[in-house]
Each structure stands twice: as C-alpha cells, then as structure tokens.
Amino acid sequence: ETGVTQTPRHLVMGMTNKKSLKCEQHLGHNAMYWYKQSAKKPLELMFVYNFKEQTENNSVPSRFSPECPNSSHLFLHLHTLQPEDSALYLCASSQVIGLAGVTGELFFGEGSRLTVL
Amino acid sequence: DAKTTQPTSMDCAEGRAANLPCNHSTISGNEYVYWYRQIHSQGPQYIIHGLKNNETNEMASLIITEDRKSSTLILPHATLRDTAVYYCIVSLSMDSNYQLIWGAGTKLIIKP
C-alpha cells in the first residue's frame, strides 16, 4: 500500500467510448502526475499538477484530458482513443517543498491497465 | 533519451548481495542519481537517491564513484521478493516538474 489508489485497475474500451481514470492520494502531497507505460517502452511523463495547477503537458494528444479538482484527486478523461493508446497508466504523487520546488520521491499507484479495442 | 545505461538483465542467488551497476557519464554537477524498482504488475517504488556521497537506507545502499560517472545499487541480502526491474535515473531534484527520464532498467531475477 503506497498511499496512492487508482481505479479502475483494468479497463477495456472501444475507440468511440468516453471513460475516466481516477487517482486518489492519501499522503498529503501537493503534486500529482500521470505517466504512461507501454509494452517494451520506458515510462513517459504525461501531465504534472503542482498545487492543483497544471505545470506540464508533454505533448499529449487532446484525446487525453486531465483534471485535478483538489490536491488529493486526479482524473484522466479518455475519449476517442486509438488502439496504440493501450498501456498501463500510472498515477504518482510527491511533496513539493518550498518556493524552490524541491520534490521528494514519487509515490506511485498500482496503475490502470487500459485496452482499447 | 535516457541519460543512464544499465545492463538489460542480471541474476542473483537468494541471500547474496545484488549489485546493480549504472553508467551516467554525462551527469552534471547538480543532478541526483535516483533508483526505483518495479515489481511485476505494480507501480514503481522509490528505493534511494544520492548526489555525491554514498547513501544507505533500510532497503539498499548506493555507491557513487568519485567522478560521479557511475553508481552501484546494492541490495545486501536479496530475497525472492526483490525480483523486479530496477531503474537508475538522473534528475535535478530542484525541478518541481520532476522530469525524470526513465530508461529500460535492469531486470533482476533472484534465484532460490
């Protein structure tokens, strides 16, 4: 138990569906992240939220839409995905310390395994 | 591209020390070395990090060479539960966007 909970753990969706992935952290952290892990590829950072504000969007296609309503919750809204979007989507959190932005280590959830048919 | 180079895979006998090497020859003076591991079907787990000095915690030890161009993660008494992919990453700890560049890692298999 890492203190970061992701739901659902597994999701199968068609290319025309709309679904959402949810992440909740119980660690009191102020930064949250979405990562994508495709088969045989390294982890790729998708989005970063610091203090609920999005500070990073690594050229992610608009069919992925993040939402961070508060510092404990993070969503990834999915629509009109492609089969190549099938992957493990990982949420992480960390504590950003002070104005200099020093971060502690990342705490990851167990991931949501997404299959797009 | 990942700024580190690691062996693709390694084996280690249960109960022995597992020594995982990592090359980071282009590391700059203010970059930290981080180690994470990912057990099958789970998210990555932080292990340890360091800048210049050797570091030790309850999970592992991190040995960084004096020129900082390479490091070794040591699991002192490996167990079967240590079987995982181990990632060596360099990053600016001061970067609040935490731009870790993940490589392929080393698949460590602990054998009974």
pLDDT at A97 over 80: no
**pLDDT band, very low/low/confident/very high, at A59 (cuts 50, 70, 90):** confident
| Inter-chain touch B104–A96, beta carbons under 8 Å | no
Q: What's the pLDDT tens digit per position in A4-17?
A: 999 999 999 988 88
Q: What is the DSSP string of A37-96?
A: E-TTS--EEEEEEETTEEEEE-S--TTEEEEEEETTEEEEEEES--GGG-EEEEEEEE-E
| Inter-chain touch A103–B98, beta carbons under 8 Å | yes
pLDDT at A58 over 80: no
Model pLDDT, residue B62: 98
| Inter-chain touch B102–A55, beta carbons under 8 Å | no
Model pLDDT, residue A7: 97
Distance of CA A103 to the CA centre of its chain: 18
Take residue B86 and report the two structure tokens written for it. 């181990």
Q: What's the pLDDT tens digit per position in A15-24?
A: 888 999 999 9
| Inter-chain touch A96–B102, beta carbons under 8 Å | no
**pLDDT band, very low/low/confident/very high, at A38 (cuts 50, 70, 90):** very high
Q: Give the chain A residue whose CA is nearest to the CA of B96.
A: A101
How far CA B25 is from CA of A33, A35, A87, B50, B106, in Å, comes to 28, 26, 31, 16, 18
Q: What's the pLDDT tens digit per position in B29-50?
A: 888 899 999 998 889 999 999 9
Select from B23, B17, B28 the least CA-distant residue to B61: B17
**pLDDT band, very low/low/confident/very high, at A99 (cuts 50, 70, 90):** low
Q: Give the chain A residue whose CA is nearest to the CA of B1.
A: A42
- B94 vs A4, A94, A101: nearest CB: A101
In terms of DSSP bridges, do strands A64-70 and A53-57 run parallel, antiparallel, or are they unpaired? unpaired
Model pLDDT, residue B64: 96
CB A4 within 8 A of CB A90: no
Which A positions 35-94 lie with beta carbon below 8 A of chain B? 42-45, 48, 50, 55-56, 90-92, 94
In terms of DSSP bridges, do strands B9-13 and B106-111 run parallel, antiparallel, or are they unpaired? parallel
Take residue B40 and report the two structure tokens written for it. 């099958």
CB B85 within 8 A of CB B6: no
pLDDT at A103 over 70: no
Q: What's the pLDDT tens digit per position in A61-85?
A: 999 999 999 989 999 999 999 999 9
Q: Residue B5 carries which DSSP code? A: B
Residue A33 with chain B: CB contacts under 8 Å = 98
Residues in chain B where the model's pLDDT stays below 70: 1-2, 92-99
pLDDT at A95 over 70: yes
Take residue A84 and report the two structure tokens written for it. 């190549």
Residue A44 with chain B: CB contacts under 8 Å = 102
Select from A88, A74, A72 the least CA-distant residue to A9: A88
State the best of A54, A59, A108 to mutate against chain B, taking most chain B CBs within 10 Å: A108
